[in-house]
């Protein structure tokens, strides 16, 4: 089962990064305030970027890497892949 790393834009223009096996389900969960604790207080607006990985370990490694980046670098990743 593949895993996906995703970046979502929140209403306050912050960017949330996470992993899932189902992007659309996870987006709905975040919108319904059932996702991570961050998105309970930061309304999710849109999916900005996704990356597919063959294992959970690979996705977690990439998620950790992206989470350490400043917002400008995350936006550059989104722009490069649009």
Domain extent listing, the chain: 3-80
Q: What are phi and psi of 9, to 5 degrees?
A: -90, 135
The two three-digit tokens of residue 59, written as one number: 């996705």
pLDDT at 35: 77
CA nearest 67: which of 25, 6, 22, 4?
6
CATH of domain 3-80: 3.40.1440.10
**pLDDT tens readout for residues 12-30:** 999 999 999 999 999 999 9
pLDDT at 82 over 80: no
β-strand partners of 10: 44
pLDDT at 71: 95
Residue in the block written with tokens 């490694």: 61
**pLDDT tens readout for residues 26-72:** 999 999 998 788 999 999 999 999 999 999 999 999 999 999 999 99
CA nearest 30: which of 20, 17, 18, 40?
40
Residue with more model confidence, 25 or 80: 25
């Amino acid at each position: 089962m593949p895993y996906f790393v995703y970046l979502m834009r929140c209403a306050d223009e912050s960017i949330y990064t996470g992993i899932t096996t189902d992007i659309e389900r996870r987006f709905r969960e975040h919108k319904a305030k059932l996702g991570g604790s961050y998105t309970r207080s930061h309304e999710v607006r849109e999916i900005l970027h996704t990356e597919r990985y063959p294992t959970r370990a690979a996705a977690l490694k990439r998620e950790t890497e992206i989470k350490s980046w400043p917002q400008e670098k995350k936006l550059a990743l989104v722009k490069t892949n649009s």
